[in-house]
């Protein structure tokens, strides 16, 4: 079974309690459950991780590059300014899909810029937790094409 990393940046561990009007009512545990279940259905072992530490997220992207692991990445606030994360994502050796629960373009102006998008295979945003499901399906399609 092919391993896929589902990587989450700052504050995503607070899903369900953090601004439910923006991020929905699904908890982080619910996100993990949905990603692992769909991963199995698609023939993946989806390993879901979350950190508030930029350096740890960069190390995980290095791990993915070194292991040719596909990635679903929600960088959280790092999306808008972390050039270290952008450079790590640019080293990818397998597809990388950038994901956002909300639609950044419908929010504050500072959220309209992603330093990750230019080095990702694609970006999916605005579909709530369903954005992760769409990203996993996109990976499956890209990996079997």
Q: What confidence tens digit (pLDDT) does each residue in 46-79 have?
A: 999 999 999 999 999 999 999 999 999 999 888 8
Q: Report how many domains make up the chain.
A: 1
**pLDDT of 12:** 81
- pLDDT tier for residue 106 given thresholds of 50, 70 and 90: low
CATH number at residue 72: 3.40.50.9100
Q: Is the pLDDT of residue 17 over 70?
A: no
Domain that includes residue 130, residue range? 2-144
Show which residues are catalytic.
23, 100
From the annotation, which residues make up the binding site for substrate?
A: 74, 80, 87, 101-102, 111
Annotated binding site: 74, 80, 87, 101-102, 111
% of the chain with per-residue pLDDT over 90:
70
pLDDT at 78: 85
Long-range contacts of 121-128 (CB under 8 A, 24+ apart): 121/95, 121/96, 121/97, 122/97, 122/98, 123/97, 123/98, 123/99, 124/97, 124/98, 124/99, 124/100, 125/98, 125/99, 125/100, 125/101, 126/100, 126/102, 127/101, 128/23, 128/24, 128/26, 128/101
């Amino acid at each position: 079974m092919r391993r896929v990393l589902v990587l989450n940046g700052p504050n995503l561990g607070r899903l369900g309690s953090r601004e439910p009007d923006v991020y929905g009512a699904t908890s982080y545990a619910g996100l993990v459950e949905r990603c692992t279940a769909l991963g199995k259905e698609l023939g993946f072992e989806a390993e879901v991780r979350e950190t508030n530490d930029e350096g740890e997220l960069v190390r995980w992207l290095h791990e993915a590059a070194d292991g040719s692991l596909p990635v679903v990445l929600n960088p959280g606030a790092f999306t808008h300014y972390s050039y270290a994360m952008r450079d790590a994502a640019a080293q990818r050796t397998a597809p990388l899909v950038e994901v956002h629960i909300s639609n950044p373009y419908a929010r504050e102006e500072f959220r309209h810029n992603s330093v990750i998008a230019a080095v990702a295979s694609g970006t999916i945003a605005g579909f709530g937790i369903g954005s992760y499901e769409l990203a996993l399906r996109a990976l499956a399609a890209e990996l079997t094409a």
